[in-house]
Amino acid sequence: MEAALEIGVAQSLAEYCPLMEIVPAAALTEQQLQDQFVQQNLRRIFLQIYRIVGNVPDAQDLTQEAFIKALQRHEQLKDDAKAAHWLSRIATNTALD
């Protein structure tokens, strides 16, 4: 995934990622921030998409697509506190398209 999470977005992810409480976001590489973002949200987003499409292979593909879109569009996130809702909306729209 080529797009990088901005430090501001990464800091808002601390509530989803216990490691972020110990290691300052600035000390992590962009790839590590992306990996943490995906790891912390993967199950929730997969299940959300699975409920919409009803089969595992499509849900896996669409989950990957949703994360790619989110990481490419992270600059559209206006309020870091709404990152979870923002990602859920991207996932839903991806599944419905």
Domain extents for the chain?
Answer: 7-96
d(CA 21, CA 23): 6
Please provide the CATH number assigned to the domain covering 7-96.
1.10.1740.10
Q: What is the value of pTM for the model shown?
A: 0.68
From residue 76, how far is each of 5, 6, 57, 87 by CA, in Å? 11, 11, 29, 11
pLDDT in tens, 11-66: 444 444 444 444 455 556 778 878 888 899 999 999 999 999 999 999 999 999 99
Note whether 91 and 59 are within 8 A (CB): no
Which ranges in 3-82 belong to alpha helices (H)? Answer: 7-12, 19-22, 30-53, 56-72
